[in-house]
Amino acid sequence: MSDSKYLKILKELHSFLSAHFSIDFAVRKIGGNIEKHIQRGLPLSASLKAEGFPEIFVQNIKIGEETGKLKEVLGELVKLLEDKIKLEREIVFSLFYPALSISAFFIFFLAVGFFVIPEMSKMLSELGVGVPKSIIVIEKIKNFLKQRYEIFPIFAVIFFYLSYEFKRGSIPIVKSAKLSLFLKALAICIENKIELQRALLMTSELSPESIREKIEEESARIIRGLEPTFEFLGEFQSEIENAYKRGELPSALRGLSQIFYEKYMKNSELLKKSIEPLFLIIVAILTIFIVSTIYIPMIEKIRDIM
C-alpha cells in the first residue's frame, strides 16, 4: 500500500473523530477489510496492522486507543505523512526536473545530428553545393559516437549511481529532508510513551540509509541496558544526549527536526537558483551552436546558388 493510500485512510479516520463520530461509524464509512476486522472484534490498531500498515502507525494508534487520545495521535500521523509526501515530491522536482529538461534538449541536439544534418547534407550534395565545414565536423562527431557505444553505458552507470545515492540519502538535500522526517516521527513516538529502543526501530525506515545501521546499533545498545549515546546524530549528539538526561528529548527532537527542515529548504532554494541559470546558459549555447554552425552556413550556400 502506498503512502497516499495510508494518508487517505488515516485522514478520513481523523476527520470523522474530529467531528465527534464514533470509531465504529468511521470505519463503516471507510469500509473495506478494516471494517471487517473491526466487526470481528479487533481494535483499530490491530485492524490496520492486518492491512499492512507500518509499525510506526500501528503502535502510535495503539497508544492512542489506550490513552483515549486517538484523535490527537491520528492528527499527528496525518501531518507526518503529509510532510513526507510533500518533501518527496519537492525533492524529486528539485533534483530531477532540471536533469530531465537538460536531457530532453540533449536528445533534441542528438536527433538534429543523427537525422536532420544527414538529410541536409544529402540535399546540398544533390544541388551540387559543397557541404559547410561545420556540418562535416558534426558528421564526424556523429560517426565517432556511433563507433563508441561504450559511452552510453557509462552515462547509464552514472544515472544509476546517482539514483542509488538518492535512495540512500547521501545527497545533502535528501539527507536533510529525511532526517527532518525521521526526527519528527521519533518525537511523536516518544511523546506517546513508546520505549526509545522500539521507537528507533520503528522510525529507522524514514531515516537516511547511510545512518540506519547506527540507529539499529543504538537500539540494540539500549536493549542491553546501556544509556543511549545518539551517535547517529553526529554534531548534535551531545545536545540531544543532554536533552534526554533532562527529560526533554521530544521537544529537542522536534527542534532538531525543524533545523534540518530549514537546512533542506535553504539547500533547495540554492539548488534552484544555481540550476535554473545554468540550464538557460546551456540552452542558449546549444541554440547558438546549432544556428551558427548549421543553419547560417546552409542558408549562405543556398543563397550562393540562387
Of the given ranges (158-162, 215-219, 267-271, 284-288), which has the lowest mean pLDDT?
158-162
What does the block give as the cell for 263? 537546512
Of the given ranges (17-26, 27-36, 67-76, 160-169), which has the lowest mean pLDDT?
160-169
- Region for residue 31 given its phi and psi (left: phi exceeds 0; alpha: psi -120 to 50; beta: otherwise): left
pLDDT beyond 70 at 17: yes
Average pLDDT over residues 160-181: 70
31 versus 200: which is more confidently predicted? 200
Average pLDDT over residues 256-267: 90
293 versus 193: which is more confidently predicted? 193
Average pLDDT in the chain? 81
pTM > 0.75: yes or no? no
Residue 199: CB atoms within 10 A of its CB come to 26
- The residues near 193 (Cβ < 8 Å, ≥ 6 apart) are 63, 67
Q: Residue 152: its pLDDT value, please?
A: 61
Domains of the chain, residue spans: 3-79, 80-306
pLDDT beyond 70 at 201: yes
Task: Give 3-state DSSP helix, strand, coil % of the chain, rounded to 5.
Answer: 85, 0, 15
Residue for grid cell 565517432: 144
pLDDT beyond 60 at 170: no
Q: What is the pLDDT of residues 40-60, one digit of tens each?
A: 888 889 998 998 888 889 999
Distances in Å between the Cα of 214 and the Cα atoms of 54, 141, 221 are 21, 50, 10
Q: Residue 186: its pLDDT value, please?
A: 93
